[in-house]
Amino acid sequence: MAELFRHHHRVSYAECTVGDHIYHARYLDLLEAARGEFMRALGTTVLELQERDYIFPVIEAQVRYKSPARYDDALTIEVWVTRVERVRLNFGHRILNQAGKTILEAETFHACTSRAEKPRRLPAELAAKLAPFLVA
């Protein structure tokens, strides 16, 4: 059984529409923040990887909106790995509200490149740290 990383977030007023729910595009920001904290929990940061000339641009995102998150909701963002290959790294995500209701399911697809956008092999030490979170 693969491990899950969990990041917690309280919905701010600035993230919401007049209809009192998170604006649809803001969910991508939440996923990005959770992935950044996931890397930090693994013992590195996105900035450290960037300084070593590794970046992981999103090349595709699939998002399924299940239910709205509203102002002041306490969200749990779950992150796991769905693919680790030479120059590919994909993440699965699920956002739950404080009642455990699924708000969103998503998968993001990333390329591993240099800052000059040339494909690079994923660092072996990062691939090893990601392995326990890989869902086959």
pLDDT at residue 93, as a whole number: 98
CB 136 within 8 A of CB 121: no
Give the CATH number for residue 21. Answer: 3.10.129.10
Instruction: Tally the domains of the chain.
Output: 1
Per-residue pLDDT of the chain (136 residues; tens, 9 = 90+): 689 999 999 999 999 999 899 999 999 999 999 999 999 999 999 999 999 999 999 999 999 999 999 999 999 999 999 999 999 999 999 999 999 999 999 999 999 999 999 999 999 999 999 999 999 7
DSSP conformation class of 133: G
> What residues form DSSP beta bridges with 105?
64, 94
Q: Which of 85, 90, 89, 86 is nearest to 120 (CA)?
A: 86
SS3 assignment, position 26: helix
Quick one: how far is CA 73 from the chain centroid?
A: 19
Percent of residues in the chain assigned helix, strand, coil, to nearest 5: 25, 40, 35
Domain with 15 in it: 5-133
Q: What is the distance between the alpha carbons of residues 132 and 40, in angstroms, rounded to a whole number? A: 15
